[in-house]
Structure 1
Amino acid sequence: MTGNPLQNIAEWRNRPGPSGIPSICTAHPLAIEAAMRATAPSPLPLLIEATCNQVNQEGGYTGMTPAAFRDFVAGIALRLGFPAERLILGGDHLGPNPWKDLPADEAMARAEVMIRDYAAAGFTKLHLDCSMGCAGEPVALDDAQTAARAARLATAAEDARPAGGIAPVYVIGTEVPIPGGAMEEIEGLAVTGAEAALTTYRIHREAFAAAGQGDAFARVIGLVVQPGVEFGNHNVIDYDPGKAAELSVALAQMPGLVFEAHSTDYQTRAALTVLVRDGFDILKVGPGLTFVMREALYGLDAIAEELFPGVRARTLRAAMEGAMLEAPKNWDRYYDGTDAERALQRHFSYSDRIRYYWPVPVADQAVAELFALLGERDLPETLIAQYLGAVYPQVRAGRLRPRARDLVLAAVEKLAQDYIGACCA
């Protein structure tokens, strides 16, 4: 069995080829297909990650266990002819977060089951995140307790990994604000201090050693830090390399490691390129992918109403609104303002909490009906210009068929190419 392709990622910048890798954090089949199409002609493997809330032993919000998610991704790859050996599966924020309302012992016991399932299913990049407090604990734990719990989960993963399989690599640390974007408009961010990053690294090394997991720590390849990028419901904080300069310099004191940057969604291609240059070699993107997918689907929704007014019982947007209002738990406490402002955020927030509703049967059916209505016909260029401006130039130049499914895939693929280009610059 060959080694883990990410084991030596810290050395990539010293050799010809890519210097970093995008981390595709989505469970939507269209977004995953687009990522495969974008990655296929590149020299990169494709890293696809599932989060603890999205995929776990209880199904998460997708209804998938780690093994089911593995098979789901493998099925898309088989259909497209994407080589299985170029796929890397990762688990993100693996820890007690889904059960943090429970006492710590119970939450950690469930987290151990979860990471065992991830490891047993062949996920070979595991982000250990035990920074959050459980019932009766502070909201955020100190480095020592966080590291001890992370070492405990690494032990569980090492015990569960398949015999003869690829040894997993680990990522430690977490970022502020919470995964998936801030809950409010943001004006600025505190970049992780160099000393704080070095302390996190040192304390985790000591905790792994105390747990007898020195070999596992040798496979820690990344540290999650806050480089000063984030998005809220309404705005995006762009990367400022000057503010992260000291943090970048500190990376030299952590041999074999790169930084992992979360919430890089909505950064420009130029900013992503500089992030990789500065040592943030793993670029996470999730909501940004489904945001542009939703843009494209809503564009098709409008085109369908222009071409076939009143044919459908309700539009895709109306179906999504109904799904979100029927089950508000995934957006209600995250959006504020007047009723009209909250309605706008449900559909158009950068946080993209509408992504939780695409697997809902009524939403899935509405998308299927939209694709069935538009079928394989060539859509008018003028309507594509009006409602799908991001991909119109490709259609106008004859590089993209003006058909519904192709247009959606192209919109997501265009964003994925920004990440691939930044990592291969």
Structure 2
Amino acid sequence: MTVVEDLINRNRSGEPVGLPCFCTANEHVLRAILAYAKTTGLPTVIEATCNQVNQEGGYTGMTAADFMAWLRGMAEEAGVPMDQLILGGDHLGPNPWRSEPVDVAMQKARELVKSYVQAGFRKIHLDASMACGGEPNPSFAQIAERAADLCAVAEAHAPNPADLIYIIGTEVPIPGGETEEPAALDVTSVDRLYDTIETHRAAFEARGLQEAWGRIVSVVTQPGVDFGHTSIYPFVPEKAKPLSDAILSQPGLTFEAHSTDYQPTSALASLVRSHFFFLKVGPELTFRFREAVVALAQIESQLQIAEPSRMTQVLTERMSDEPRHWKDYYSGSEADVARLQMFSYSDRIRYYWTDPAVAAALSKLTANLGAHPLPQTLVSQAFMGLEFGEIPTTPGALIEGHILRCVARYFEAAGLPASTG
């Protein structure tokens, strides 16, 4: 029995355990996650999305094989064995090519899935829910048939198909996040849950994928959680109770919750108790990273630095010069948009950290502040809440520690505190 199977069995039996899924391609964030994995020994899920990483490079410029090699190198440096990590592919399907005719988009989706499993990704979210090339929104049956099509590709090309686990379902925001503030959230109905499961079961059986069906471990549903640019929609367990009760009638299955970022830790724990076994988090990780970088820039401004990094100015300049990552998301007055660019739960700023000018400014910032131990009084002001006697005085330690505020609380909510590793 694998560690995931064991934890799922325990969750379904009523034990409040789950697994966080860290969805990010930010190097600083990944190194912090790996440092935590090294310290705790806990199983750690790291995921890439179809938009981040695909055969055309995605917005990171990486293929699945590139991402895997990059992560393997960082894991080796951190002293984390690869068998402690579970690599996942999120929203694998035609989404990056949804403007193209469905036949073309699905062929590219097949290549996407093939590239992920060949690279060694084991947790595969099959998502063929989007309309392609101007077609009407696909039916439950069409979505399931396309998901089964992609599953057949995964089974045919994985080095060891028995190592794969699958996630189905898609009642979540599109990859990349909401373009507008959600007006209201509806919890997935029990009928829609059953329709999702039964249409997928029939589609898998029609393709002779019964063995793969036994490795479906979770269904993505909407438990009533999400976030917008400035709002958070908290989990209300009572509203999701019919849904959480219903999954126990489906042998071996749990839920995967997307867009759980910024939920109170108590709400994350309630999700796990309600059988939302996988807790996906992405923007919260880079939100914490951005907070740390801005805090370091504030420290730099208080020191007599001959050549300051201009960190925040460079960020705002590059976002203004290259608005494609935020212009379809943020609106309002000039002041409103400027504030959202830097301080938004949607965290569209995360797409700019690899911009050459931004990366150079960040390197200069850390070099400027890393030359000598930082004054603890300045650090305490910029990073409020640090314990006296435990105040880091290097930029790397401060960035890592701030990111770990997110990482640690997700493991705590999942019933896997650091002491259990």
1:159 maps onto 2:156 in alignment: yes
| Match of residue 289 from structure 1 | 285
* Partner residue of 1:53 out of 51, 54, 62: 51
Q: Deviations over 1:183-242 (max 9, x none)?
A: 223353101111111110111011111111111111100100111110001110111111
Question: SS where residue 307 of structure 1 aligns?
Answer: coil
Shift of 1:310: 6.1
Deviations 1:261-299 (A, max 9, x none): 000000111111111011001000000000010000011
State the aligned residue count: 416
Corresponding position of 2:110? 112
Q: Which amino acid aligns with 1:12?
A: R
Q: Distance in 1 between matches of 2:392 and 2:358?
A: 25
Quick check: 56-65 or 315-324, which moved more? 315-324
Give 1:39 shift. Answer: 3.1
CA distance in 1, matches of 2:281, 2:112: 23
Q: Indicate the residue corresponding to 1:355 in structure 2.
A: 350
The offset of 1:4, in angstroms, is: 5.0
- One-letter code of the match for 2:30? I
Q: Provide the C-alpha distance between the structure 1 equivalents of 2:97 and 2:35, rounded to a whole number of angstroms.
A: 36
Aligned equivalent of 1:90: 88
Q: Distance in 1 between matches of 2:346 and 2:72?
A: 28
CA distance in 1, matches of 2:130, 2:405: 35
TM-score by structure 2 length? 0.95
Distance 1:234 1:141 in 2: 32
Q: Provide the residue aligned with 2:400 in structure 1.
A: 409
Specify every segment of 5 or more residues in structure 1 that has no aligned partner in the other structure, as ranges. none
Give the Å deviation of 1:90. 0.4
| Cα distance in structure 2, aligned partners of 1:166 and 1:366 | 45
Within 2, Cα distance between the matches of 1:117 and 1:204? 23
- Please tell me whether the aligned partners of residues 179 and 262 of structure 1 are also in contact (alpha carbons under 8 angstroms): no
Question: How many angstroms does 1:41 deviate by?
Answer: 3.9
Is the alpha carbon distance of 1:4 and 1:126 closer, same or farther for their aligned partners in structure 2, counting shifts above 3 Å? Answer: farther
The structural deviation recorded for 1:29 is 1.2
Q: 2:242 aligns with which of 223, 240, 246?
A: 246
What CA distance in whole angstroms lies between the structure 1 residues aligned with 2:280 and 2:174? 14
Q: CA RMSD in A?
A: 1.8
CA distance in 2, matches of 1:18, 1:29: 31
Q: Determine the C-alpha separation between the residues in 1 that align with 2:306 and 2:174.
A: 42
Task: Please show how residues 186-335 of structure 1 align to structure 2 within 5 Å.
Answer: 186-308=182-304, 311-312=307-308, 315-335=310-330
Cα offset, 1:15, TM superposition: 7.8
Structure 1 residue 330: Cα displacement: 1.1
Residue from 384, 388, 401 that aligns with 2:379: 384
Show the counterpart of 2:38: 40
Write the distance in 2 (CA, Å) between the matches of 1:110 and 1:9.
Answer: 34
The one-letter code sitting in structure 2 at the alignment partner of 1:369 is K
Tell me if the contact between 2:256 and 2:280 (Cα under 8 Å) persists in the aligned partners.
yes
- Partners in 1 of 2:15 and 2:228 — Cα distance? 34
Q: Mapping of 1:9-88 within 5 angstroms?
A: 9-13=7-11, 19-42=17-40, 44-88=42-86
* Structure 2: segments with no counterpart, 5+ residues: 417-421
Residue in structure 1 matched with residue 389 of structure 2 by the alignment: 397
Letter in structure 1 aligned against 2:149: R
Residue matched to 2:166: 170
Asked if the contact 1:186/1:237 (under 8 Å) is kept, the reply is: no
Equivalence for 2:419: none
Distance in 2 (alpha carbons) for counterparts of 1:214 and 1:188: 38
Provide the identity percentage: 43
The amino acid that maps onto 1:153 is L
Question: Shift in Å at residue 311 of structure 1?
Answer: 2.1
Task: Give 1:324's aligned amino acid.
Answer: M
Question: Within 2, Cα distance between the matches of 1:278 and 1:87?
Answer: 25
* Alpha carbons 1:170, 1:220 under 8 Å: kept: yes
Residues in 1 aligned to 2:270 and 2:36: alpha-carbon distance in whole angstroms: 21
Query: Is the contact between residue 18 and residue 44 of structure 1 (CA under 8 Å) also seen in structure 2?
Result: no
User: Is the CA contact (8 Å cut-off) linking 1:181 and 1:230 kept in structure 2?
Assistant: no
Match of 1:130 among 128, 131, 134: 128
CA contact (8 A) 1:4 1:124 kept: no
Give a deviation string over 1:129-178, Cα, whole Å, max 9, x none: 0100011213x42211100000000011111101x475210000012332
- Structure 2 residue identity aligned to 1:52: C
Question: Do the aligned residues in 2 keep the contact of 1:116 with 1:157 (CA within 8 Å)?
Answer: yes
d(CA) in 1 for partners of 2:55, 2:109: 9
Shift of 1:309: 5.1
Distance 1:194 1:48, change over 3 A: same
State which drifts further: 277-286 or 378-387.
Answer: 378-387
Could you tell me how far apart the structure 1 residues matched to 2:172 and 2:13 are? 32
8 Å Cα contact 1:9/1:258 also seen in 2: no
Change (3 A) 1:71 1:15: farther
**Residue in 2 that maps onto 1:369:** 364
CA distance in 1, matches of 2:170, 2:306: 48
Residue 295 of structure 2 aligns to which amino acid in structure 1?
Answer: G
Partner SS, residue 393 of structure 1: coil
- Mapped to 1, the partners of 2:212 and 2:407 lie a distance apart of 31
In the alignment, which residue of structure 2 is the partner of 1:148? 145
- Rounded to whole Å, the distance in 2 between the matches of 1:43 and 1:404 is 25
Aligned-partner SS, 2:90: strand
Q: Shift of residue 182 of structure 1?
A: 2.3
Partner of 1:343: 338
